[in-house]
């Protein structure tokens, strides 16, 4: 076997490994069960991708992040490494056909979600493959003590029972000691080799700042540093509103959330990566699988729902080791909003039972049906018809997704319904012999019921059959409607559900409902821990974060917003005071003058002015300007 550095350079273009990567890869190649705890941006994926290149057989990668799996497959293919992900509707291929291709194809890696493992046909096929390594990404999801437990992960143990000689590599970026022990138990790891990188990110400065005007505070932060930044918001609407504000003021910003089309997401991500729009305003999920090393600021406009989420999101700053700042702007109502959004909207047992019944009725899924079908619908229309609030409905969708009932996906899709107004023979005979005639002929053959009623057609499928663009097909169909041959109706969808189980209300929901109370209690505990972190201004923020993950730091960092690291705060105040003094020596100034001239937040300026006013050093004149008193001129 060639040195590991050869594969690293040849396929990935790197000269050296990141910390612990080489040791983890050696353990995997020596067929040891391995648990790797690496920070966000620590290079976890390489730890199974490189061994997959060396192994003769297949590496099975189990991950809950479908979009991330798809991205990895594309990246691997671009490096000449054959990989695939198992997903419904992929290029029109069934799951069975994809598995057949896998058996006879030259693939090195198969990416699969844990929910797929619940399919007996999938398990049967996997047992026939030459699997040399099982990699479990986001391994904390296997633990009920983790912040993102997914019951489908428990099915991984069944694979282990069938493939006892195949080593497992479990990877996670954030896990407490209790979760680490539970991962070993739930995955049935044997004589586990554990590699744990320090959770400490010494180049990050953690700041929690109270602010009465978050928009002004944000403007100040991004004016200080024009380097790439991420601004996290709680809602989609907030990202769009903030984007409008910042761009009106001349900042180069973009926004990103799950409601955008795939094309929009790719365009905005590329513009941010290329630093055409260095400020990315996004909802909390943005950043997974995106390796941009020079992000200098991560700014939260609201506290996340757990310290694990906070650690992962702030960890997207300063991956190149250069000093970077992560700031959480805290308003007076943030804790109430956090509890209201994540706690008051937690679904109850009755909520989930009613929701499951409603969505089955809405999509017209009868008992015993639904398995492996994908349904498209309009989220807002469903909520209106069955009287659900958007937040509670979304929480129900996500709770049931975590339980492995379906895959929910946000999308932008238009389906076309066609109904011919005349018998097929008449349509074809009276249409001139043109490409349009051929289109109508294929339509009536492919969709014979469209003569009697409106039938949904897939423009993409039709375009592939005919070899014409969708735009041209639409034009001909609209001409046919204008000439009185057919009737068209566009149906828009913004959501899809891929059903993973047949509809069986009682049987399907029973295990889920028994876990609901435990999950809700854990959610409350995670939020309380996050609030405690924000409120504790006495202890070093870095110490608090590391202690949560079971790691000790010898001393305070001296570089965070806590009182125990007050030296840094005093240094800032001294800098502000010197700058204020220089301006006041030139003459009276309003608060607006100070803010315009100095790169400091308004709160920092006001604190100094009020302290000086109490000491008789400054006063306000009749024009509401601050000026030095006579004895200090």
pLDDT in tens, 446-491: 777 776 677 777 777 777 777 788 788 888 888 888 888 788 887 7
Q: CA 59 to CA 285: how far, in whole Å? A: 27
Q: CA 214 to CA 561: how far, in whole Å? A: 17
> pLDDT tens digits for 347-366?
888 898 899 999 999 999 99
Question: Which alpha helices (DSSP H) does 116-164 contain, by range?
Answer: 120-126, 156-162
Contact 82, 130 (CB under 8 A): no
Q: Which residue has the tokens 């612990």?
A: 20
User: Is 256 exposed, middle or buried (CB count within 10 Å of its CB: 0-12, 13-18, 19+)?
Assistant: buried
Q: Among the listed ranges 239-253, 313-327, 529-543, 615-629, which one has the minimum average pLDDT value?
A: 615-629
pLDDT band at 23 (very low <50, low <70, confident <90, very high): very high
> pLDDT tens digits for 403-428?
888 888 877 676 778 888 877 677 66
End-to-end CA distance of the chain: 78
The fold of 204-332+524-552 is Rossmann fold (3.40.50)
Q: CA 468 to CA 435: how far, in whole Å? A: 10
Contact 300, 329 (CB under 8 A): yes
Q: CA 185 to CA 408: how far, in whole Å? A: 30
Average pLDDT over residues 127-143: 90
| Cα-based distances in Å from 94 to 91, 97, 128, 380 | 9, 5, 19, 30
Mean pLDDT taken over the chain? 85
pLDDT at 569 over 60: no
pLDDT at 341 over 80: no
pLDDT at 282 over 90: yes
Which ranges in the chain are annotated with CATH 3.40.50.300?
Answer: 4-196, 204-332+524-552
Query: What is the reported pTM?
Result: 0.72
pLDDT of residue 208: 94
Comparing CA positions, the residue from 604, 584, 586, 402 lying closest to residue 511 is: 402
Q: CA 73 to CA 81: how far, in whole Å? A: 9
pLDDT band at 595 (very low <50, low <70, confident <90, very high): confident
| Cα-based distances in Å from 480 to 80, 431, 453 | 46, 9, 16
pLDDT at 91 over 60: no
Q: What is the CATH number of domain 564-632?
A: 1.10.10.10
The fold of 4-196 is Rossmann fold (3.40.50)
Which ranges in the chain are annotated with CATH 1.10.10.10?
Answer: 564-632
Q: CA 173 to CA 42: how far, in whole Å? A: 8
pLDDT of residue 384: 94
């Amino acid at each position: 076997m060639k040195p590991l550095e050869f594969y690293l350079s040849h396929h990935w273009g790197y000269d050296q490994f990141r910390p612990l990567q080489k040791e983890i890869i050696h353990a995997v190649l020596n067929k040891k069960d391995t648990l790797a705890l690496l920070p966000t941006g620590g290079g976890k994926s390489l730890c199974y991708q490189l061994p997959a290149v060396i192994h003769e057989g297949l590496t099975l990668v189990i991950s809950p992040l479908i979009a991330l799996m798809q991205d990895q497959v594309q990246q691997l293919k671009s490096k000449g490494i054959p990989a695939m992900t198992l997903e419904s509707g992929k290029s029109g291929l069934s799951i069975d056909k994809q598995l057949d291709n896998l058996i006879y194809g030259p693939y090195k890696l198969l990416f699969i979600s844990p929910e797929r493992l619940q399919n007996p046909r999938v398990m049967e096929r996997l047992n026939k493959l030459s699997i040399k390594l099982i990699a479990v990404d986001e391994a904390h999801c296997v633990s009920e003590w983790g912040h993102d437990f997914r019951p489908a992960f428990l099915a991984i143990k069944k694979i282990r029972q069938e493939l006892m000689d195949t080593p497992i590599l479990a990877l996670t970026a954030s896990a407490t000691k209790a979760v680490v022990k539970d991962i070993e138990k739930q995955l049935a790891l044997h004589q586990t080799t554990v590699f744990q990188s320090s959770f400490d990110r010494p180049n990050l400065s953690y700041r929690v700042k109270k602010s009465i005007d978050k928009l002004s505070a944000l403007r100040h932060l991004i004016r200080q540093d024009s380097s790439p930044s991420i601004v996290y918001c709680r809602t989609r609407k907030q990202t769009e509103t903030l984007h409008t504000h910042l761009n009106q003021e001349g900042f180069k910003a973009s926004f990103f959330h799950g409601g955008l089309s795939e094309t929009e997401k790719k365009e905005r991500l590329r513009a941010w990566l290329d630093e055409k729009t260095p400020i990315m305003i996004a909802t909390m999920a943005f950043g997974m699988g995106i390796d941009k090393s020079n992000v200098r600021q991560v700014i939260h406009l609201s506290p996340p729902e757990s310290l694990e989420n906070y650690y992962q999101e702030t960890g997207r700053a300063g991956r190149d080791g250069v000093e970077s700042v992560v700031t959480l702007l805290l308003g007076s109502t943030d804790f109430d909003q956090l509890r209201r959004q994540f706690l008051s909207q937690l679904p109850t047992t009755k909520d989930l039972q009613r929701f499951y019944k409603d969505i089955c009725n809405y999509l017209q899924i009868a008992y015993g049906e639904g398995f492996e079908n994908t349904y498209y619908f309009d989220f807002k229309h469903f909520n209106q018809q069955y009287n659900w609030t958007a937040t509670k409905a979304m929480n129900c969708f996500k709770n049931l997704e975590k339980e492995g009932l379906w895959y929910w996906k946000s999308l932008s899709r238009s389906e076309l319904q066609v109904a011919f107004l005349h018998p097929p023979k008449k349509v074809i005979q009276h249409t001139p012999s043109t490409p349009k005639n051929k289109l109508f002929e294929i339509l009536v053959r492919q969709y014979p019921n469209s003569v009697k009623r409106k039938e949904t057609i897939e423009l993409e499928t039709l375009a592939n059959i005919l070899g014409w663009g969708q735009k041209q097909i639409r034009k001909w169909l609209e001409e046919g409607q204008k000439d009185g041959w057919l009737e068209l109706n566009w149906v828009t969808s913004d959501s899809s559900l891929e059903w993973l189980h047949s509809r069986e209300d009682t049987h399907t929901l029973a295990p889920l409902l028994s876990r609901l109370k435990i999950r809700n209690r854990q959610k409350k505990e995670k939020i309380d821990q996050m609030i405690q972190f924000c409120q504790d201004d006495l202890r070093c923020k870095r110490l608090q974060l590391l202690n949560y993950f079971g790691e000790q730091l010898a001393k305070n960092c001296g570089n965070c917003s806590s009182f125990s690291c007050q030296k840094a705060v005093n240094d800032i105040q001294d800098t502000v005071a010197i700058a204020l003094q220089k301006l006041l020596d030139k003459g009276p100034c309003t608060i607006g003058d100070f803010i315009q001239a100095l790169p400091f937040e308004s709160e920092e300026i006001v604190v100094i002015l009020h302290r000086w006013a109490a000491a008789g050093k400054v006063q306000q004149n009749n024009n509401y300007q601050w000026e030095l008193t006579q004895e200090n001129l």
